[in-house]
């Protein structure tokens, strides 16, 4: 502590010829609609420059006060080595910036989570990291709610979307107290038996706000044995999107008949699922 020098004691070996000096990670700051600065973590290969043409994979969560981890993942090398920029939007509703950061993205301030994510996407485009035609986004569970909300609000901003086990039928689910993800969720979203909360939740619930407009390419996943987001939520959302959307873009619903909320169990089965999601995204990013 006196010298502020660090000594490396141990490093986990990464197989396959990984060279950490080939990559750069940065922290950027986007400006939200209300002027709040929203952190974005990005990582990319050194050969990548902000030229407005880079494919970019943006993800986020923003609920339950959960700080999205900024950690090394060998899985991302498959994207980075293809020249894709990977980014995490640390939107309000998460815990990255303290308790107030969480509280400013819950209850009757939940829409900050969605507008923050949109502001992060717009910032990355404005700063020439990507374009809307090269922008992929993903989120799971409450992050899937985030995906559903932002594509209702700004479908033109994104090229391709992965919504994994998405919590998209918010009002109906948390009104049904026979379900696991219901009454206990009132501490996060508000009690929908209160008219003020009911109207507010309904105003952003993805299923309730699908409209006749063009949507991006979309992969929706579900687990038949999911105890949190029941499989019929993604299914009915898919059905409504198919009925109302005005585009010819791809819309897939992939239900794992053996999985729960966290997807396939086992290292290799999990990697196969991730490979499927990556393949879907890559097929639209050129």
Catalytic residues: 141, 226, 261
Cα of 108 vs its chain's centroid, Å: 21
The Cα–Cα gap between 192 and 7 comes to 53
Residue 258: both structure tokens together? 């053996």
Cα 109 to Cα 63, 89, 210, 250, distances in angstroms:
12, 18, 21, 33
User: Which whole-number Å values give the CA distances from 186 to 28, 118, 176, 183, in the listed order?
Assistant: 33, 25, 12, 5
Kindly tell me the burial class for residue 111, based on how many C-beta atoms sit within 10 Å of its own C-beta (0-12, 13-18, 19 or more). middle
In angstroms, the Cα distances linking 265 to 69, 204, 279 are 21, 32, 20
């Amino acid at each position: 502590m006196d010298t502020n020098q660090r000594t490396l004691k141990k490093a986990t070996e990464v197989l396959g010829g990984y060279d950490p000096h080939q990559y750069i990670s940065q922290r950027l700051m986007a400006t939200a609609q209300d002027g709040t600065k929203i952190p974005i973590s990005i990582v990319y290969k050194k050969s990548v420059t902000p030229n407005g043409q880079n494919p970019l994979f943006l993800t986020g969560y923003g609920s339950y006060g959960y700080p999205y981890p900024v950690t090394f993942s060998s899985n991302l090398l498959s994207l980075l080595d293809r020249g894709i920029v990977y980014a995490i939007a640390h939107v309000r509703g998460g815990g990255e910036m303290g308790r107030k950061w969480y509280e400013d993205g819950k209850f009757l301030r939940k829409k900050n989570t969605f507008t923050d994510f949109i502001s992060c996407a717009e910032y990355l485009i404005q700063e020439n990291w990507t374009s809307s035609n090269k922008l992929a986004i993903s989120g799971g569970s409450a992050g899937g709610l985030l995906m559903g909300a932002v594509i209702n609000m700004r479908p033109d901003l994104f090229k391709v979307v992965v919504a994994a086990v998405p919590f998209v039928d918010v009002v109906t689910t948390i009104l049904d107290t026979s379900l696991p993800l219901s009454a206990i969720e009132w501490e996060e979203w508000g009690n929908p038996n209160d008219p003020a909360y009911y109207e507010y939740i309904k105003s952003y619930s993805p299923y309730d706000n699908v409209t006749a407009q063009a949507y991006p390419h979309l992969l929706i996943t579900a687990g038949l044995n999911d105890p949190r987001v029941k499989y019929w939520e993604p299914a009915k959302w898919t059905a409504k999107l198919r009925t109302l959307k005005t585009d010819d873009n791809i819309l897939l619903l992939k239900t794992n008949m053996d999985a729960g909320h966290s997807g396939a169990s086992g290292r290799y089965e999990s990697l196969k699922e991730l490979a499927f999601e990556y393949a879907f995204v890559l097929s639209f990013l050129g």
